Amino acid sequence: MHKMTIILAAISLTGSVSLATAQDGDPEAGAKVFRKCAACHNIENAKRKVGPSLQGVIGRQPGTVEGFKYSKGMIEFGEGKVWSAELLSEYLPDPRGMVKGTKMAFAGLKKEEDVANVIAYISQFSPQN
């Protein structure tokens, strides 16, 4: 067996690499976690605050809300990508680490459970729901 296959199998068995998805989370608990985001982001309508509205964020290309002036880093990051539960689960724990030069000052959600819950909550405001 190839060494990389063994390593990937070990990671898979231990569960040490895990991505939060909307179905993993609790939307009610996510609404509480979203309070940390609500100072800068709106979710219930398209009105922007300090940051862009997150209504319909899942399924949208990062850095593309009309009328919001994104950083060059976010625009470049968004090229060829679409926000999904998987991409959000990578982004939310360390936004500034993932998108160099982002204007977003938020340090991130450190608990995997909080990430899953906020994704479940945000998913309720996306077109596919």
Domain presence at residue 9: no
Is position 5 within any domain?
A: no
How many domains does the chain fold into?
1
- Say what the pLDDT of residue 22 is: 52
* Contact predicate 33/112, CB 8 Å: no
Residue 14 lies in a domain: no
Identify whether 105 is part of a domain. Answer: yes
Q: Provide the residue range defining the domain that includes 80.
A: 21-123
Q: Is residue 6 part of a domain?
A: no
Mean pLDDT by 10 residues, the chain (129 residues): 41 45 83 96 93 95 95 97 96 96 93 96 83
Question: Is residue 83 a part of any domain in this protein?
Answer: yes
Measured from the Cβ of residue 14, the count of other Cβ atoms closer than 10 Å reads 9
Q: Which amino acid is at 40?
A: C
pTM check: above 0.85: no
